[in-house]
Structure 1
Amino acid sequence: MVKTLGGAGGLSTLGLNLPRRPHATLSRDDGYCATVLASFVVMVMLVMTIVALIFMAALIGVVGLSYETDEALNTDQAGDCVADVWGNQPSSYGDLDLPRDFYDIYRSAGQEYSIEWYYLAGIGWEETDHGQWAGDGSHGPTGLERDTTNDWGAAGPMQFGIDPDMPASDAWSTYGVDGNGDGRKDVWDPRDAIPSAANMITKYIDERGSIEAALYRYNQSNSYVQAVMDTAARYESGDFTITAPMGFLDCEVPDPNDSVADGVVDFVEDQVGEPYEADATGPDAFGPAGLVHAAYDDQGVEIPDDFDELHDFPNGARVPIGDIEPSDVLFTASCDTDNDEDSQADHALVYTGGDTLVHASEADDEVVETDMDDIEDCSVVKVLRMSHLGDS
């Protein structure tokens, strides 16, 4: 696959194409030379590009650190709480693998800004493999670590320029948005960066009349435009795999209420063997959400009994999978996707400690215990803590 890395707004004005990783190669776009004549710094970059030739093909920009399922770090929306990296470098890359939370953000941003989500995903892949590439070590920082940029002044998973004095310029101040509503515009947070890219691209479409012209405005390279369009077409067709989420969580994770947690665990363990019934809340049968609701209701904690409302319960606290505690609720979905809403979370399990989960299983037609090892990493959507809502 031929790839380039451009930059949201800034590197598009430069047109430099540098290598991202060994399996990505790209021919340079000779048309960019006119945009680099004004600056000595840019001329130096051009010389470096010519000397490197084959190696220098795709701009590193916002390339990210990769995610390894159990090792996901808490990349928070509050500045001081954001981990230095997003995850561990992988041993290999899956073809068009898409972390579940990136998938969700692409879809929601596309809906909000009236652009097909797969164009955003195509950009995210071409720029950074959705934050899954740690760089090849040849060209300095990647710009993914908080408060850093790459050598051209670009940062974040969609490669926005943030420094007007650098070749990447400063597109962020113009197009950056607070996508997750936390009161700040954070170029390093995909929940802000992806909606910001959607904001930018839709404005470029309005200016230039087509997605292809908008992509060229985003990164002035014909090969980049073609690569994004080809990748977007594959995402549109469903030719990809959803993998485990990177994990973008709130930085203040409340401690569990031990008394409530113990009561929830005891309750669900006592229901093992009770019949399964999709929407039942007990006492003689349970559905997945109904079992969770009944367990917390037994401890005086009021939570929804509807699955979707439980999944989106605003008073619940998201926690990293590595910090899961007894009574926390694990939401999962099938690892397979046909590229529609059915790929969202569809099951809930209560973690009871050790390697054990309890849940109302349709397949078993009863409430059962399940080993954590039986849960595929790619299926985990999120973990929700609610024991802290109980009285101390």
Structure 2
Amino acid sequence: MAGLRPPPGDRGPGGRHSSVKGTRLALVIGLAGALILVAVILSPMLLISLPSFISGGGTSVDCEDDTQVEEVSDSGSSDIPGDYLELYKKHGKKIGVQWNILAAVGKRETDHGRSDLPGVKNGTNHAGAAGPMQFLISTWGGKARIAMSSDFNGYASDGDGDGVGDVYNPADAILGAAKMLKRNGAPENVRRALFVYNRAWWYVDQVVEIARKYGKSGEVKVPPQASEECDDPLIEAAPSDVVAKILKYALDQRGKPYLWGGTGPDAFDCSGVIYAAYRAAGLVIPRTTFVQWPFGVKVQEGEEQPGDLVFFNSGPGTSANNPGHVGLVVSKGKMLEARCRLCGPIKVTSYQARTNRVGFTRPLQNPDVLEQLKKLRNPSL
């Protein structure tokens, strides 16, 4: 049962790198010329050894890696209705979540919508959950059917393009479940995401076992981490359109250099890129890390979501109560950061591996930002 915490409710200048291009010299005079020739011969090797953020890097990423489209086992084909299987695969691929995990949730919750228990096809069960993926109505957005043009906080989704997020519609419910799992750690930490979905480790074990049986390999595969060539799943999983705009701008700044005090468009510091990303979404937040820290509403670790800020103790002059570095959460465990002049360009990194992390905040819940959001939604106010 998806009984979880509902989320609160332009691309900037290009940030891609050009490849480094070597230039060969043709001066061969005696021993000096021979040395130059050796250097020229070796230069491609030197270029290959350069970090990918300089050379533009390395192997291209296949956004449709076959780990995202695990083949269906015979038992999966015989057990999953065809229309449901198509939806699990379609929305799993779109959001970046294993389709067989989605299918296993659908099986465990309602036998892919075939259950006649209360709350599956209409109404709610004793806990207030509804639909084939068993969302709490409060988590879906407050009511079972929501016009997607309306203002709501929740996981309501329009999976069939009819403009309505209907918790009883398999297309909508499966897309909502994919977003929820993605937001809470899938595909990399799928067990944690499933625990958030239903807060019981026995439930997690059961779902994972079903998922293994549905996949032909007998495994729950982990797709490659989304790269700058594969941003769409991150954007699709954003809690709101506003957060999607923030992420789109921020992710497009990768590859640009760090500059202390920089707010773009060509260079940024850690708080500057976040400030600029929020401005791209029509919102104004404080400019510096020291003021951004008290500005946002504090978020418990494990409850952070895309668009939130993660703060760090960065050494002398900073502390747990006065952090000196900040990153923008783009997915569970991952942040976009402009770290320092010698740390390379702006990029997506892991915040979970950092021992100096001091906390998370949500600027979107600051009263000033809530007022700005109201004006964005209704300019006549």
Instruction: Please give the range of the TM-score, normalised by the shorter of the 2 chains.
Output: 0.3 to 0.5
TM-score of the aligned structures, taking structure 2 as reference length = 0.34
